[in-house]
């Protein structure tokens, strides 16, 4: 009987210790759920262990084949370029290993169910859902395709759930920011707003969303505002990662290339088509503000 490939979880990374530990706990729980195969996880930046150490751990355990799943909600620079570049580097460091690469997580009905649960936890029981506007706040990216995925998640979340509407905002690198998103909700006549962070775990950026929400609410007492929690290590998330693993093993990747700036000349991003990918850092997680998004395009073959 053929031994199944190991599972490698690739995370973004955060300076927030609780957020990093939540990722590590999540990887350990996946290992407990699936004792039949080795499971390891590492980060692209900011947090230990780095992805290279996770690959080395698998190799030390005798692994020669693995499937890598990006623990990320959208296909931005990390999922499209940084992780493939890191995996290619590890293949050079460990001759003889092979891997397949899965796709990011969202939007997915399982995650939408968790988001709906987070909304239910945050909404005042006295509020009529028809009077509640949701502001879904994503990380934000210089990649318009990634930002568009957040809007897709917002639309899917709105469908059939009875809320007045679901608007979008971003905490970094893209407009509108959280205050502007809240302003838009108010201009649209929102009586009550729930700010819903589109993040897997706690961290610096979700904390910033909560702080900006609190500041806006204090300045606009006429609008009822609540903050919802992040998605968290829910059973649905564990199941979804396993689904992405099985897709990768079977070769059923279905990567999204239709609106990727590295394949398609989108207005304002024509210079990115075909650029080679170089690893990069996300500025707002670490208070460093170099030119994120410039000179880090990727070849985008998706033949992982």
- The 3-state DSSP composition of the chain as helix, strand, coil percent (nearest 5) reads 40, 15, 45
pLDDT digits (tens, 9 = 90+) for 37-75: 999 999 998 889 999 999 999 999 999 999 999 999 998
- In this structure, what DSSP letter does residue 82 have? I
pLDDT digits (tens, 9 = 90+) for 190-199: 999 999 999 9
Q: What's the mean pLDDT in 139-147? A: 93
Q: Check if the beta carbon of residue 4 is closer than 8 Å to that of residue 36.
A: yes
C-alpha to C-alpha distance for 23 and 46, rounded to whole angstroms:
13
Q: Give the pLDDT band of residue 251 (cuts 50, 70, 90).
A: confident
Q: What is the pLDDT of residue 222?
A: 95
pLDDT digits (tens, 9 = 90+) for 145-182: 999 999 999 999 999 899 999 999 999 999 999 999 99
pLDDT digits (tens, 9 = 90+) for 76-88: 777 888 899 999 9
Q: What is the pLDDT of residue 171?
A: 98
Please report the domains of the chain, with CATH numbers, ordered by start residue.
Answer: 4-103+232-270 (3.40.50.1400), 107-225 (3.40.50.1400)
C-alpha to C-alpha distance for 29 and 285, rounded to whole angstroms:
26
Residue with the bigger pLDDT between 5 and 251: it is 5
C-alpha to C-alpha distance for 233 and 221, rounded to whole angstroms:
33
pTM: predicted TM-score of the whole model, two decimal places: 0.84
Average model confidence (pLDDT) for the chain? 87
Q: What is the pLDDT of residue 260?
A: 63
Buried b (16+ CB within 10 A) or exposed e, 193-202: bbbbbbbbbb
Q: What is the pLDDT of residue 50?
A: 95
* Burial group, residue 18, by CB count within 10 angstroms (0-12, 13-18, 19+): exposed
295: CB partners within 8 A, 6+ apart: 275, 278
| pLDDT reading at 252 higher than 90 | no
Expressed in angstroms, the distance from the first to the final Cα of the chain is: 25
Q: What is the pLDDT of residue 287?
A: 45
| pLDDT reading at 285 higher than 60 | no
Q: Give the pLDDT band of residue 291 (cuts 50, 70, 90).
A: very low
Q: What is the pLDDT of residue 56?
A: 97
Q: What percent of the chain has pLDDT over 70?
A: 84
Q: Report the range of poorest mean pLDDT among 32-36, 45-49, 177-181, 277-281.
A: 277-281
Which helix H or strand E contains 24, and what residues bound it? helix 17-33
Q: Check if the beta carbon of residue 29 is closer than 8 Å to that of residue 64.
A: no
Q: Give the pLDDT band of residue 7 (cuts 50, 70, 90).
A: very high
Q: Check if the beta carbon of residue 202 is closer than 8 Å to that of residue 16.
A: yes
Q: Give the pLDDT band of residue 1 (cuts 50, 70, 90).
A: low
| pLDDT reading at 259 higher than 70 | no
């Amino acid at each position: 009987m053929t031994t199944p490939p190991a599972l490698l979880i690739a995370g973004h990374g955060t300076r927030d210790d609780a957020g990093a530990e939540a990722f590590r706990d999540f990887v350990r729980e996946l290992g407990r759920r699936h004792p039949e195969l080795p499971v390891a996880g590492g980060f692209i930046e900011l947090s230990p262990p780095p992805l290279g150490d996770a690959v080395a751990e698998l190799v030390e355990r005798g692994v020669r084949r693995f499937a890598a799943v990006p623990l990320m909600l959208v296909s931005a620079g990390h999922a499209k370029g940084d992780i493939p570049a890191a995996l290619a580097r590890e293949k050079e460091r460990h001759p003889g290993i092979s891997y397949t690469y899965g796709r990011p997580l969202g939007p997915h009905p399982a995650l939408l169910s968790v988001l709906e649960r987070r909304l239910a936890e945050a909404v005042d029981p006295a509020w009529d859902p028809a009077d509640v506007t949701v502001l879904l706040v994503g990380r934000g990216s210089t990649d318009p395709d990634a930002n568009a995925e957040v809007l897709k998640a917002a639309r899917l979340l709105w469908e059939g759930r009875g809320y007045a509407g679901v608007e979008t905002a971003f905490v970094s690198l893209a407009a509108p920011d959280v205050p502007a998103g809240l302003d838009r909700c108010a201009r649209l006549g929102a009586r009550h707003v729930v700010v819903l962070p589109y993040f897997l775990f706690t961290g610096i950026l979700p904390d910033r969303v909560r702080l900006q929400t609190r500041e806006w609410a204090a300045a606009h007492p006429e609008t009822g505002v609540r903050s919802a929690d992040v998605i968290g290590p829910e059973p649905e998330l564990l199941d979804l990662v396993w689904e992405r693993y099985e897709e990768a093993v079977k070769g059923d990747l279905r990567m999204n290339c239709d609106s990727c700036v590295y394949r398609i000349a989108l207005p304002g991003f024509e210079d990115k088509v075909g650029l080679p990918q170089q690893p990069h850092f996300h500025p707002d997680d670490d208070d460093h503000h170099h030119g994120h998004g410039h000179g880090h395009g990727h070849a985008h073959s998706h033949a992982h």
